[in-house]
Amino acid sequence: MAVASQVLTSEWTKIRSVRSTVWTLGIAVVVTVVMGAAICLLVKNDFDSMPVRERLTFDATSTAFAGMGLGQLAMIVFGVLVVGGEYSTGMIRTSLAAVPQRGTFLFSKITVATLLAFVVSLVTSFVAFSVGQAMLGADLRVGLGDPGVLRAVFGGALYMTLIALFSMGVAAVLRSPMLSLGILMPFFFLISNILGAVSATRKLGRYLPDQAGQKVMKVVTTGDDVPYGPWGGLGIMALWVIAALIAGYLFLKKRDA
């Protein structure tokens, strides 16, 4: 127990002492809130000119999270840097020499990073929602007490945290920040969108981590035939994360630093 406590403290010191990881979390907050507020303001100004169908299915909660796409970019970078940064600098050899129990080492790093990511994500989600509703105005906004809204706001925090966790698992497998980002960025911002937009692959795209996880942030249903609900989608995303973390642990355990 003493060893685990010391390793946790060490990992906390590493994360907070590296400026790049701190900056990425700050960027995640700013871009998510600012972009969401800007989109909400645009929607408010153009709402009366929107088609009737779009007005009837308007989701004030998910609109406030319109900046989450850019926010998750910063969370991906954070997750990759937390795990992959030591490989790029060569510090991983020193870390594993100090903590030869690789499971303890990886678990401690991921635990500290996850707690930090969750706190930042929780603040981001609630602030983005509050600012977004203020921009929408009295006629369009919803409150935390409305059906499904609190679930969506809390789910937004879980979504961003799981994005960071998935990135940590991938970085542990690939051991290179550049390679990890080179795969994760196209995966989330290009491949996933293409698969979700093309009719032939749309059903497959629904089970990708980002598309499944984003379901938890929606309050208004649009009559789609997605075979899972908000928590089911988040559960699918969690399975992706678990698989990535297990793979990361196995690769760390079997390979030399």
Q: Per residue in 145-166, pLDDT tens?
A: 999 999 999 999 999 999 999 9
Per-residue model confidence (pLDDT) at position 150: 96
138 lies in which domain range?
Answer: 2-254
Q: What is the count of structural domains for the chain?
A: 1
What is the residue-averaged pLDDT of the chain? 89
Instruction: Tell which wins on pLDDT, 177 or 16.
Output: 177
Q: Yes or no: say if 124 and 29 are a contact pair by the CB < 8 Å rule.
A: yes
Backbone angles phi, psi at 40, to 5 degrees: -60, -40
Q: Per residue in 24-67, pLDDT tens?
A: 999 999 999 999 999 999 999 998 888 888 888 899 999 999 99
Per-residue model confidence (pLDDT) at position 223: 63
Q: Which residues of 18-30 are buried (b: 16+ CB within 10 A; e: fewer)?
A: beebeebbebbbe
What CA–CA distance (Å, rounded) separates 179 from 22?
21
> Mean pLDDT throughout 158-176?
95
Q: Per residue in 195-220, pLDDT tens?
A: 888 888 888 889 999 999 999 999 98
The reported pTM is: 0.92
On the question of pLDDT at 2 being above 60, the answer is no
